[in-house]
Amino acid sequence: MLSDIAHQRSQALLRQRKILLVVAAASFLTNLALVSALSTRDREVILQPITSRPLAISSSGVSADYLELVTRDVALMLLNRSPAGLDYWMEQILKVADPAAYGALKAELVKIVTEQRGSDLSQAFVITGMTVDPKALSSTVEGDLKTFVGGQVIASETKRFRFGWSYVGLRLSLTSFALISQNKEASR
């Protein structure tokens, strides 16, 4: 009689264990499916209205409008500088730098800071044109670059600059920045 009761009890425990195993497996598969769906789904963030047109960023790629706005801001930040704010200037540019390009960009910026520290040399840039290519993650900015010593303008030239970008997740980062020489443009 005791063996029958023990047998029934062990069979009930086995059934409970099987049910628990099935529930755990179903839970694991459901969680796996949810994680898979969330990781492959495009994320989109709607930005506050800062222009006359709606603006959103998405993990599927950068929009031309967003690339244009970021290029504008970075170009103005990068090309407008004075000796009084060089440390802040460098920090802000490095905040938008791609981690893979951080070292190279910092080396170039340190060179500029070293050259300009203690001088009266400033520069101002006014954008006159811009082209963006969201597929190639590049943009070109054209404008008037004025160089000042104190309050005196010593040079005023039209220059073109190319920006390279990387886009990972929802972050657009600066990978490169270069002056486009006039000789290259004349030969095209």
User: Which long-range contacts does 34-39 make (Cβ < 8 Å, 24+ apart)?
Assistant: none
**Residue 159, SS3?**
strand
Taking only the tens place, the pLDDT of each residue in 110-150 is 999 998 888 888 999 999 999 999 999 999 999 999 999 88
Residue ranges of the domains in the chain?
A: 61-187
DSSP 85: G
Tokens 């004075």 sit on residue: 82
Please give the pLDDT value at position 185: 44
Instruction: Classify strands 56-58 and 121-133 as parallel, antiparallel or unpaired.
Output: unpaired
pTM of the predicted protein model: 0.69
Least confident of 24-38, 70-84, 93-107: 24-38
Please give the pLDDT value at position 188: 38
pLDDT mean over 36-61: 68
pLDDT category at 50 given cuts 50, 70, 90 is low
How far is the C-alpha of 39 from the C-alpha of 55, rounded, in Å?
23
Please give the pLDDT value at position 72: 93
Write down the mean pLDDT value for the chain.
Answer: 86
The answer to whether 78 and 91 have CB atoms below 8 angstroms apart is no
Q: Environment class of residue 90 by beta-carbon count within 10 Å: exposed (0-12), middle (13-18) or buried (19+)? A: middle
Superfamily covering domain 61-187: VirB8 protein (3.10.450.230)
DSSP 84: G
Residue 115: what residue type?
A: E
